Amino acid sequence: MSTTSNAAKPLDAPPAERRLKAPSWVTGLLTGSRGPAVGLIVMCVVFYIATPYFLTQNNLLNIVDQAVILGLLALGMTAVIITGGIDLSVGAVLALATMVLGWTSHDLGWPLWLSALVAIGVAGACGLANGLGVTFTKLPPFIATLAMMSIARGLANVITDGQQIVGYPEWFGDLSTVRYLGVFTFVTFVLVVLYVAGWGYMRYRTGGRELYAIGGSSEVARLAGISVRKRTVLVYTVTGVLVGLAGVFLSMRLDSSQPSAGTGYELDAIAAVVIGGASLSGGVGSVTGTLFGVLIIGVLHNGLNLLGVSPFVQQIVIGVVIALAVMVDVLRRRETR
């Protein structure tokens, strides 16, 4: 006697795995730098409604001026994150660069232009050490740059026993305050030039495309003939140079060198890159998106200050924005699978 099994699944049973997909227009907004651009516009509209002082010429120029330091740090961090790395030392290296600038110019009596070059060179050497630590000693980027963060912060304090250095020539400070054509200061002009150069390099040069390949899979990139070690060391070194330049610009703006400068800047730089659409997994990111991320953080700080929000609350808001940006990155990668 034969029996028929009743265990068969009904034809209309749902599939074992069903993944909800976002509408195509949502996916489109999450692609590239369009999402950060839309977020920046929405944020500007909100602050314009909330306070009449936001959308004024002086305030908008002030946002750009304040974003210069973060912009330089984030530009280097973009390349680092695209290669699949991270750099936690940028804030401490910035402080070291400012102290080297002040110590060599004030205590040793060097010309200020030479002191600036030495400060940038020292920061570049820190970046080189990071790159060598990641590539040749095989330290994880998190550990290598965390160690450099401690070393650089310690050196910044040792140079003057934790004392700040104040008083630079008037012409030096004017480079960050005097506006040409009523819009650009010298430092903002340099930032714009560097971002245009960075955008062109990442988009059109072979070296820029190789960074994406390294972030996608360093082993595949190596098998394809890309010098992964050389490129990685170069990325960290250039990031150090940009950090040193940011340190010089910060000294211009503050008219002082402080060993505590740059505290927390590494988190803001990482946040700007991630908000701009980069993936912490590597292989994804753009200079344009980072620029929008920098402006978003700048607008957030400025708008919340105008509204009288406590700096401690602002840290909470920035943290929420970072979390949302990472969630968007996860959603974007899920939709592209």
The predicted-structure confidence for 240-280, as pLDDT tens digits, reads as follows: 999 999 999 999 999 999 999 999 899 889 989 998 888 88
Q: What is the pLDDT of residue 33?
A: 66
For residue 11, pLDDT over 80 is answered with no
What's the mean pLDDT when you consider all of the chain? 87
* CB-count burial class (<10 Å; 0-12, 13-18, 19+) for 247: buried
Q: What is the pLDDT of residue 13?
A: 44
Q: What is the pLDDT of residue 227?
A: 93
Backbone φ, ψ for residue 33 (5° rounding): -100, 10
Which position has the token pair 């509408």?
Answer: 23
Q: Which pLDDT tens digit goes with each residue over 182-230?
A: 788 999 999 999 999 999 999 999 999 999 999 999 999 999 999 999 9
For residue 98, pLDDT over 70 is answered with yes
**Angle at the Cα of 292 from the Cα atoms of 315 and 248, rounded to 5 degrees:** 75
CB-based contacts of 85, cutoff 8 Å, min separation 6: 134, 141, 232, 235, 236, 282
12 pLDDT band (50/70/90 cuts)? very low
For residue 153, pLDDT over 60 is answered with yes
The rounded percent of the chain whose pLDDT value lies above 90 is 63
Q: Which pLDDT tens digit goes with each residue over 33-52?
A: 677 888 889 889 999 999 88
